[in-house]
Amino acid sequence: MVSITLAVPEEIKQKMDEFSEINWSGFIRKEIIKKTKELELREKLLKELEKEKAVMDWAVKLQKTGRKGRFEKLKKKGLI
């Protein structure tokens, strides 16, 4: 395992020392692992979403085409 060093303000270090029952190194390690997994998932989902972009664009275009002139038709019928 690789070691890293980080800096925190002195006042935070003093507060951390008050809670000696917490393994701060372990806590930070778990949070870094958690965050990297979240970011990996985000990247994976964005790549999958990009693959679906053509289908989404087609669906939006289809919807807009279907709605084109619909407001005026409803207005003429007195429904709006």
Structure tokens that stand for 44 in this block: 């994976």
Tell me, yes or no, whether 53 lies in a domain. Answer: yes
* Residues of the chain with confidence (pLDDT) below 70: none
Tell me, yes or no, whether 5 lies in a domain. Answer: no
Which of 22, 26, 3, 1 is CA-nearest to residue 12? 22
Tell me, yes or no, whether 3 lies in a domain. Answer: no
> Residues 16, 24: contact at Cβ < 8 Å?
yes
- In the chain, the number of structural domains is 1
- Which domain, by its residues, includes 29? 10-76
- pLDDT at residue number 72: 82
Tell me, yes or no, whether 21 lies in a domain. Answer: yes
Tell me, yes or no, whether 4 lies in a domain. Answer: no
- pLDDT at residue number 5: 95
Tell me, yes or no, whether 2 lies in a domain. Answer: no
- 3-state helix, strand, coil split of the chain in percent (to 5) is 75, 0, 25
Tell me, yes or no, whether 1 lies in a domain. Answer: no
